[in-house]
Amino acid sequence: MSKVLVVYGTKSGCTTGVAEEIGKTLAAEGASVDVVPAERAGDPSGYDAVVVGSGIRAGQWHEVVRTWVAGNAESLKTRPVAFYTCGLMINEGSEKIAEVTAYTDPLIEQTGVKPVDLGLFAGWNEPKKFSFAERMIMKVMKTPQGDFRDFAAIDEWTRGAASKLGLAA
């Protein structure tokens, strides 16, 4: 049985649910899975594969995730890794999808960790989960409220990523 580490960063909690769904789907594919927030994630060397994801703030992955990837880059380069990004802009069309995809480019360039797959998932705008300043920015931007996560799409991506991670039966 393959052992997989799913690491994530979130501020509002949105990416926690995505990471848990990825873990559940990988477990259904036969893997032993640990789902851990980046601030508590340790050395990935005991895992066969790693999935790392983050929500977006100001056009970047959360600093704690970027720091974890950079600090574990040498170990991550020796095993298959998949990245995923959660954000509201995913719902806004193909030009925004290209922009969100590029958010991982600086991390890949800085660390040399090259993911075997990259998932992009819609997030949420649950105002009670954001700071006052963030709520005001979203209001000015006329960001629709709600939970836009598509768990069927997350499951589909995860099943596809499992084979790229070397986990498919």
Least confident of 19-23, 54-58, 151-155: 54-58
76 is in which domain, residue-wise? 3-164
Residues 6+ apart with CB under 8 A from 20: 35
For residue 90, is it within any domain? yes
pLDDT at 13: 67
d(CA 60, CA 75): 23
For residue 36, is it within any domain? yes
For residue 45, is it within any domain? yes
Q: What CATH number is attached to the domain comprising 26?
A: 3.40.50.360
Mean pLDDT across 132-138: 60
d(CA 98, CA 80): 23
For residue 150, is it within any domain? yes
Segment 67-108, tens digit of pLDDT: 999 999 999 999 999 999 987 656 555 566 677 777 889 999
Q: How many domains does the chain have?
A: 1
pTM of the complete model: 0.83
For residue 102, is it within any domain? yes
Asked if residue 86 lies in contact with residue 15, where contact means CB atoms within 8 angstroms, the answer is yes
For residue 112, is it within any domain? yes
State the DSSP H helix or E strand holding residue 96, giving kind and residue range, or none if neither: helix 94-101
For residue 169, is it within any domain? no
Q: How confident is the model at residue 131 (pLDDT cuts 50, 70, 90)?
A: low
Helix, strand, coil shares of the chain as percentages rounded to 5?
A: 50, 25, 30
For residue 24, is it within any domain? yes
